A and B are shown apart, each in its own frame.
Chain A
Amino acid sequence: MSDLTTLKYTEEHEWLLIDGDTATVGITDYAADKLGDVVYVDLPAVGTDVEAGKVVGEIESTKSVGELFAPVLGTVLEINDAVVDSPDLVNSSPFDDGWLIKITLSGDLPALLSRDEYVALTAE
C-alpha cells in the first residue's frame, strides 16, 4: 500500500498522489467503505480539461451514487481501465489498484488536506 502520509486529501474524500506535474486521484478507504460495494465507475475521457470542484465522474455502489470531483485544475492524462472493468478494486485496493484518473496539472494546487487533517475530518 502507498504510504498514506505522502498523499494529499480533499473534503470530498479523494486522495491525490502528486508527482511532478501529475496527480493520481482515487477515493479513500473511508469513502469506499461508506459507499458499499462499488459496481460501476464512470470516468472522464483522456484529454478532458478539468477544474477543481467540478464533477468529472461517478462512482456507484449497489445502494448509492457518488460524484467524483476533480480536485485540481488540469487535463486528464490517463484513466484506470482496470477499475472500469472491475469496479470492486475501489473497495479492495482504494489507494493502489483502485486509483481512478491521472491529471496533468496546470496552475497552482488548491488547498489540500494532509493525512492527519483528513483523518481528523473523518473521525468526527
Chain B
Amino acid sequence: MTDAPVPPAETGVEPRYSPLHDVHVAAGASFTDFAGWQMPVRYSSDLLEHHAVRQAAGLFDLSHMAEISVVGPDAGAFLDAALAGTLSTIAVGRAKYSLLLAEEGGILDDLVVYRLDDHDFLIVANAGNRQVAFETLAKRAHGFDVTVDDESDDTALIAIQGPAAEGVLDELITQDRLAPDAPLAELRYYRALQGTFDDVPVLIARTGYTGEDGFEIYLDNDTAPALWSALAEAGAPRGVVPAGLASRDTLRLEAGMPLYGHELGLETKPAQAGLGRVVDLGKESFAGRDNALPAEDARVLVGLTLDGKRAARAEYTVVDPSGLAVGVVTSGALSPTLGHPVAMAYVDPAVAAVGTSLGVDVRGTVIPATVVALPFYKRS
C-alpha cells in the first residue's frame, strides 16, 4: 500500500495554526496542510461529516481564509476597476461572488465581496491566494481614495452549513449569546448582517460552499473558540458535527462549485469555467477586461458522471469514443450523496454538450462517462 497521504513536506516554513487549533486537537481531528496552514481534514469519518452536512449540519473552521477590507469614499469605484464584476451598485448587506483577473485575463482569485456599509467592503479571498490578492488590490488602489487592509491575521471564520444551521443559531440567540442586528429569519441567501456574540462584534453571512443553507460567521480570533463551542453544544442534539476539509471538498464538488487551483487558475478565462456572468463587460474599464474572453476553441468546464465506482481524479485524461484525448479532469470523487463517481473536467467545446458520451482514463482503464449539467446535487 502506498500513496497514503503523508504529513506535509518539511519545507522549513513554520506551519500556521488556526485560533481553533487546540479545539480541533481535543476533538481528535486529523490535520492536513492547506496553503501553509495545518487545518482539520476530518474529525472521525469524512463520509459521516459529508452526510451530516446534507442531513443536519457541519461546523467548519475556515480561519485560514483571507479577509481584506476596503474602506474609503472611492471603495465602490475602486472595486469596479479592480474586479471583474460591478460591486458599486450592490446594496449594503449584500454579498456578491466576484473574480480578480490578471491583466492577461486569467483568474488570480475568486472572491466573495460583502458590502458592510456605503464605503466599507469586506473581500474574502482563498488562503492560498492571500498575498497575491492583497498585493494586486493594493496596487490597483493607487489613485483611489481608499484604504486596503489585510485583516486575515486578526479574523477567524466559522461556518455552519446544513439544514439545521438556522436552528442552531436561533438557539444561541435564545441563550442571549448571539445578537444579530436584525432577525435571522429575514437574512436571505448571499446577504450578511452584523451583530454580536458574547458582546463581541461578528458578521453573520448567509453564504457557503457546500450546496446547503448555512452561515459563515466572521469574528476576532480570541472569541472564536467560545463561538465554536457554543455552536457545537447547541448543534450536537440536532446531529451537527465538526467537519473537515475532506468533506468540504466532496460537498462543494457535488454542488458544482469551482475550487481555485483545480477549476480556476491563471490559465483559465472566466467564461471557460462557466463564470462569464461574473464578468461585467458593460463596464468600460477594469483590470483584465481586454483579455477576459477565451478563444473560441478554448476548453470549457463540464460535469461528468462515470459508470461504476472508480473515481476520476484531478489530471486524469478525458477521451472521446475513439480514444482521442479531449480534456482533463480537474476534480473528482465517488459522490457520497449520489453513490456514483462525479467529476469536473475541461473538455473541447465540440464534446461539451450535455449527454455527450466520453470516457476517463482511470489509471489505464477507460471508464465510460457522460457529460451532465452542473450542479450534480441541488438541495430540495
Q: A residues bordering B, Cβ < 8 Å?
A: 12-14, 27, 31, 33-37, 39-40, 42, 58-69, 88, 91
Contacts and interface: CB of A to CB of B under 8 A. Distances in A.
23 contacts: A12-B1, A13-B2, A31-B1, A34-B5, A36-B45, A37-B46, A40-B311, A58-B310, A60-B310, A60-B311, A61-B46, A62-B47, A62-B333, A62-B334, A63-B41, A63-B246, A65-B3, A65-B313, A66-B1, A66-B3, A66-B4, A68-B1, A69-B1
Contact of B5 (A12, A64, A67): A64
Contacts of B250: 62
A34 B1 CA distance: 11
A69 B4 CA distance: 13
Contacts of A69: 1-2
B5 A35 contact: yes
B1 A59 contact: yes
A68 B313 CA distance: 18
Residue of A37, A59, A66, A69 ringed by the most chain B CB atoms within 10 A: A37
Contacts of B246: 36, 62-63
Given A36-B46, A39-B311, A88-B47, 18 more contacts: A12-B1, A31-B1, A34-B4, A35-B4, A37-B46, A39-B47, A39-B309, A58-B310, A59-B1, A61-B46, A62-B46, A62-B250, A62-B336, A66-B1, A67-B3, A69-B1, A69-B2, A91-B45
Contacts of A63: 5, 41, 46, 246, 249, 333
B229 interface: no
A10 to B, nearest CB: 8
Given A36-B42, A36-B46, A62-B250, A13 B4 contact: yes
B145 to A, nearest CB: 47
Interface in B309-339: 309-311, 313, 333-334, 336
A39 B334 contact: yes
B5 A31 contact: no
A26 B321 CA distance: 37
B34 to A, nearest CB: 13
A67 B47 contact: no
A33 to B, nearest CB: 7
Nearest to B247: A62
Nearest to B45: A37
B371 to A, nearest CB: 23
Closest 7 A/B residue pairs (Cβ) = A34-B4, A37-B47, A13-B1, A40-B309, A39-B334, A12-B1, A66-B3
Contacts of A27: 1
B311 A66 contact: no
B285 interface: no
A39 B334 CA distance: 7
A113 to B, nearest CB: 13
A60 B310 CA distance: 8
Nearest to A91: B45
